[in-house]
């Protein structure tokens, strides 16, 4: 297994959800598992743009991250290539659903053995990411 998928409905329009992704100060508030914070160094939200940041764990440990935004379709989809270990691609898709948005989270790891070994961490962490997005959107 190298693929993790989550889906969550939010009672907000795709532009409202997209705004919480494209604004670095908002993204920094909700990105990552529960208890983590973020320190962004570079955030170039455009196709080909870099995203360099540290995720800071509850114990203060810093986890360096580097990514490239492969493509961005406003109010619809963001494709991120995580270019430092562990290597993965993340696709965040926003589909209109009724009066809200269904957010699809698709994370594909290059190393299936790593993904399988980390499944017990990755599955809840991805769900917590969406929980935190909901809180950012005012649903907490």
pLDDT grade for 54, boundaries at 50, 70 and 90: very high
Report pLDDT digits (tens) over 74-92: 999 999 999 999 999 999 9
pTM above 0.85, yes or no: yes
C-alpha span between 21 and 94 (Å, rounded): 11
Q: Look at residue 27 and tell me whether its pLDDT is greater than 80.
A: yes
- The CA dihedral of 112, 9, 100, 108, to the nearest 10 degrees, is 0
| Strands ordered across the beta sheet of 3-10 | 3-10, 100-109, 88-97, 77-82, 62-73, 50-56, 37-43
Q: Spell out the residues 6+ positions from residue 85 whose beta carbon is closer than 8 angstroms to its own.
A: none
Three-class secondary structure of residue 72 per DSSP: strand
pLDDT tops 60 at residue 140: no
- Under DSSP, is residue 47 helix (H, G, I), strand (E, B) or coil? coil
CA 60 to mean position of chain CA atoms: 21
The pLDDT value given to residue 1 = 66
């Amino acid at each position: 297994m190298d693929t993790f998928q989550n889906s969550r409905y939010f009672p907000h329009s795709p532009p409202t959800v997209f705004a919480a992704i494209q604004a670095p100060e908002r993204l920094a508030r909700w990105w990552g598992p529960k208890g983590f914070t973020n320190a962004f160094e570079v955030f170039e939200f455009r196709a080909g743009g870099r995203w360099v940041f540290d995720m800071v764990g509850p114990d203060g440990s810093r986890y360096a991250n580097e990514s490239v935004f492969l493509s961005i379709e406003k109010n619809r989809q963001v494709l991120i290539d995580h270019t430092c270990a562990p290597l993965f691609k993340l696709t965040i898709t926003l589909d209109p659903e009724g009066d809200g948005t269904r957010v699809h989270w698709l994370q594909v790891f290059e190393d299936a053995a790593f993904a399988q070994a980390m499944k017990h961490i990755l599955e809840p962490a991805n769900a917590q990411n969406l929980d935190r997005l909901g809180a950012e959107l005012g649903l907490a």
